[in-house]
């Protein structure tokens, strides 16, 4: 725990230093902004790439070993059903919160933004969205090649292959025991690597934050004040809901869980990447007491299907753009949009800036000008900080809760057998 506290303090100091450095460059040396941001952001890039380096082997080895050790395929199905039930409920709740608050605050009618100033920034994003289709959905779920999935860190594809591999390994019984032990040993080594990599997190945080503040400065917050305030209230409501549900299930152990995951939460917030904390989250959830087989199965699924912060943001951003353009969106049309977002968001798991791509695609479907995405691009990085940390919290709570349900179920079965 002491090591975890040291890392948390180091990241916090890096965050503060990044803000100070970025502000200094933005306001005192405006001619250096572009070169400074480009160079210091390399620190964040190195950290993210180091993390990405160990995600694929960690997911594959822990998931295969976990499923093979379960033995009972009914357990795999039961855990999967519980996980998907949580993910669907949480996603719908997040979407509804976003819809309610963007209607309540109507930030699009109060924010004075000139679209022409930002239109050029949306071109690349609109080009990416032109490829959005059913084919993209399938290609992000079913792997064409496991080596391709490993190379591109397609977590969901690795999960699909690992489930098949783990089930097959479990079915051959004693013949597969040595292979299961090998995967467990590799997992131990990879988790040891996680400890080393995480000590580069403060440098990554410093680079990401300094680059952002140097580029945009603090005036961006006054321009988008209504938008950011409404989104912040949405995050607070969503956090309150998640923590209440977490307390109902975990009781006072919820505070122990939050203490354990404080470093991953801060890393996700600072680097705007929930993927960057996946290995560390695996480690901390296991230290919290979750069964490795539950963590290795539920957490990778959550990273594809349980992005609570992103789900809320998608509704929020889509309706915000409609408000800016003065487009009337009756409640039945908004509810239809929610269902579309629920489905289409699963088709771009693992795609960079996935939330924005889904927003553009959805706007096009509902008669909202897709180029309106340019309105929110300048502030998206700061909103991404909020939605990334919320995604991590949601996945940690879902994994811990499912582990608690499974432990209760196992204890009940043991008591019945003894009686």
Q: Which residue has the tokens 């990416």?
A: 128
Q: What band does 138 get if pLDDT is binned at 50, 70 and 90?
A: low
Q: Is the dihedral of CA 254, 255, 256, 260 positive or negative?
A: positive
Q: Is the pLDDT higher at 373 or at 247?
A: 247
The answer to whether 308 and 390 are in contact (CB under 8 A) is yes
Which pLDDT value is given to residue 121?
Answer: 54
Distance CA 39, CA 24 (A): 16
The answer, yes or no, to whether residue 329 has pLDDT greater than 70, is yes
Which pLDDT value is given to residue 80?
Answer: 85
The answer to whether 398 and 90 are in contact (CB under 8 A) is yes
For residue 413, give Cα distances in angstroms to 74, 177, 419.
14, 26, 10
Distance CA 362, CA 339 (A): 11
Query: CA-based Rg of the chain, rounded to a whole angstrom?
Result: 22
**Which token pair is 174?**
């004693």
Torsion region of 289: left, alpha or beta (phi above 0 gives left; psi -120 to 50 gives alpha): left
Q: Is the pLDDT higher at 120 or at 77?
A: 77
Distance CA 253, CA 244 (A): 13
Distance CA 334, CA 160 (A): 33
Q: Spell out a b/e string for 231-260, using b for 16 or more CB atoms within 10 Å of the CB, else e.
A: beebbebbbeebbebbeebbeeebeebbeb
Residue 118 phi, psi (nearest 5): -120, 0
Distance CA 368, CA 131 (A): 18
Q: Which whole number is the average pLDDT over 257-285? A: 90
pTM: 0.85
pLDDT tens digits for range 344-370: 776 555 455 667 778 887 888 888 887
The answer, yes or no, to whether residue 144 has pLDDT greater than 80, is yes
Query: Long-range contacts made by residues 34-42, C-beta under 8 angstroms, separation at least 24?
Result: 36/210, 36/211, 36/214, 37/210, 37/211, 37/212, 37/214, 37/215, 38/211, 40/206, 40/207, 40/210, 40/211, 40/214, 41/207, 41/208, 41/210, 41/211, 42/207
Distance CA 315, CA 342 (A): 10
Q: What band does 304 get if pLDDT is binned at 50, 70 and 90?
A: confident
Q: Which residue has the tokens 């400890």?
A: 195
Which pLDDT value is given to residue 392?
Answer: 93
Distance CA 27, CA 315 (A): 34
Q: Which whole number is the average pLDDT over 206-216? A: 89
Q: Is the pLDDT higher at 202 or at 76?
A: 202
The answer to whether 305 and 354 are in contact (CB under 8 A) is no
Q: What is the mean pLDDT of the chain?
A: 84
- Compute CA 39 distance to the chain's CA centroid, rounded to the nearest angstrom: 26
Mean pLDDT comparison of 72-76, 154-158, 190-194, highest-scoring range:
190-194
| pLDDT > 70 fraction of the chain, expressed in percent and rounded | 86
Q: Domains, the chain, ranges and CATH?
A: 2-411 (1.10.3860.10)
Distance CA 123, CA 159 (A): 33
Q: Which whole number is the average pLDDT over 2-10? A: 78
Distance CA 104, CA 90 (A): 21
Q: Which whole number is the average pLDDT over 42-66? A: 88
Q: What band does 17 get if pLDDT is binned at 50, 70 and 90?
A: very high
């Amino acid at each position: 725990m002491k090591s975890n506290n040291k890392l948390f303090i180091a990241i916090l100091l890096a965050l503060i230093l990044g803000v100070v450095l970025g502000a200094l460059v933005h306001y005192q040396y405006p001619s250096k902004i572009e070169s400074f941001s480009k160079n210091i952001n390399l620190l964040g890039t190195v950290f993210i790439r180091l993390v990405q380096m160990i995600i694929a082997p960690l997911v594959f080895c822990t998931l295969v070993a976990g499923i093979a050790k379960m033995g009972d395929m009914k357990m795999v199905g039961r855990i999967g059903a519980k996980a998907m039930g949580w993910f669907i409920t949480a996603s719908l709740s997040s979407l509804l919160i976003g819809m309610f608050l963007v209607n309540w605050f109507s930030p699009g009618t109060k924010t004075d933004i000139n679209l022409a100033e930002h239109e050029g920034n949306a071109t690349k994003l609109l080009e990416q969205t032109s490829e959005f289709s059913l084919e993209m959905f399938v290609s992000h779920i079913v792997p064409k090649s496991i080596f391709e999935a490993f190379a591109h860190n397609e977590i969901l594809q690795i999960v699909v292959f690992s489930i098949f591999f783990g089930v097959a390994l479990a079915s051959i019984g004693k013949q597969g025991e040595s292979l299961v032990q090998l995967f467990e040993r590799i997992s131990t080594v990879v988790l040891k690597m996680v400890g080393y990599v995480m000590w580069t997190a403060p440098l990554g945080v410093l680079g990401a934050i300094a680059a952002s503040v140097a580029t945009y400065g603090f005036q961006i917050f006054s321009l988008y004040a209504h938008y950011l305030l409404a989104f912040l209230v949405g995050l607070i409501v969503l956090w309150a809901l998640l923590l209440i549900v977490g307390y109902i299930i975990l009781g006072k152990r919820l505070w122990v869980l939050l203490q354990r995951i404080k470093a991953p939460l801060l890393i996700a917030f600072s680097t705007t990447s929930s993927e960057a904390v996946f290995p560390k989250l695996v480690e901390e959830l296991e230290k919290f007491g979750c069964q490795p087989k539950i963590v290795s199965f539920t957490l990778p699924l959550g990273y594809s299907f349980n992005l609570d912060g992103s789900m809320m943001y998608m509704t929020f951003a889509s309706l915000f753009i409609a408000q800016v353009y003065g487009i009337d969106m009756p409640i039945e049309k908004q509810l239809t949009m929610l269902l579309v977002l629920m489905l289409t968001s699963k088709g771009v798991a693992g795609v960079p800036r996935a939330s924005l791509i889904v927003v553009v695609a959805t706007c096009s479907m509902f008669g909202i000008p897709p180029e309106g995405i340019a309105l929110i691009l300048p502030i998206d990085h700061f909103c991404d900080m909020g939605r990334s940390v919320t995604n991590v919290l949601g996945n940690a709570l879902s994994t811990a809760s499912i582990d608690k349900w499974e432990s209760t179920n196992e204890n009940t079965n043991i008591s019945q057998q003894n009686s």
